[in-house]
Structure 1
């Protein structure tokens, strides 16, 4: 079975759309997902499955809506996809300040037209690079003060997005190795 990582968008942020990780794990067991491990309260789950990523995303989204009563976008990545993303980060070097690095996961590859339109955006001190279904971000300041938000990328690229800081990305990779 293949290791997968579910990345949920917008849960447990500011006391809204609250889902306890124990409840999330129980829900996943109810729909047949076994060996699930969660990491921090923001909705990161490592598990094994033979199902396709899109099928899993839709299944988990549907079950969250049914059980908790709100829409939560879910992006699934395989361990191999996460590993490839980590090795492709143009801003990650041995001396990089990891607190300035972030990875925005997209639920599908944006159109070339939308990518080209986005490339003309000047984000001042923050930088980004799109590679397939990933956007690598370098924030000179704090991420929460950046214009390079999930909503920004979703509007410009017409795809779903969720972002994790680099420390979380690396931890998800580490946890998926077990």
Structure 2
């Protein structure tokens, strides 16, 4: 059995993209996933399974599409990979709430930095294994105009959340 974290893209509490975390947990249990739990209501699912990652990702995406009536992209990481993301954060000195890890299913492109648009002088960007790290400046993420085309299909979590998810995944 491997412990996983599933990070859902574009899931909110209410509105058209609304998904109750109790429903997400139930969907995962219906798929036969073990030790299922959610963390904060932003599309974070923790579970254990012996199935391969790609099969799990596709199972979750199909189940979510059926339940929600729209495509929901899922990024999966093992507990070890989540811990590695925490360690790989190149902006360790910045407050965790100001650093976002954009999770993707593939590695960032080699030309990542040349494709970025609207970067403020105090925003910093770095590529990870299957992540893009962004340290937001004084304006914070809420007022940033930064566009990262390579990360648009992924989903972001701040490093405080990433660290907590890594801890929870190890404890499953």
TM-score calculated relative to the size of structure 1: 0.86
1:133 lines up with 2:119 in the alignment? no
Contact kept in structure 2, 1:110 and 1:159, CA below 8 Å: no
Residue 160 of structure 2 is matched in structure 1 by 167
User: Is 1:9 the counterpart of 2:9 in the alignment?
Assistant: yes
Give the distance between the partners of 1:135 and 1:38, measured in 2 at CA: 23
Partner deviation per Cα, 1:65-94 (whole Å, 9 max, x = no partner): 11221211110011111111111111013x
Deviation at 1:36, TM superposition (A): 0.9
Structure 1: tracts of 5 or more residues without a match:
none
Preserved contact between residue 83 and residue 166 of structure 2 (Cα < 8 Å): yes
CA offsets 1:11-43 (integer angstroms, 9 cap, x no match): 116633111111111111111112111001100
SS class of match (1:82): helix
Specify whether residues 172 and 120 from structure 1 end up closer, same or farther in structure 2 by C-alpha distance, changes over 3 A only: same
Q: Which residue pairs with 2:80 in the alignment?
A: 80
Distance in 2 of aligned mates of 1:177 and 1:158 = 26
The number of residues matched between the two structures is 170
- Contact kept in structure 2, 1:5 and 1:78, CA below 8 Å: yes
Q: CA deviation at 1:177?
A: 2.2
Q: For residues 160 and 51 of structure 1, do their structure 2 counterparts lie closer, same or farther at Cα, with a shift above 3 Å needed?
A: farther
Partner of residue 177, structure 1? 170
Residue in 1 aligned with 2:103?
105
Instruction: Say if 1:5 and 1:44, in contact at 8 Å, map to a contact too.
Output: yes
Structure 2: tracts of 5 or more residues without a match: none
Paired residues for 1:1-178 under 5 Å: 1-12=1-12, 15-93=15-93, 96-112=94-110, 114-115=111-112, 117-118=114-115, 122-140=119-137, 141-148=139-146, 152-153=147-148, 156-157=149-150, 160-178=153-171
TM-score (norm. length: structure 2):
0.89
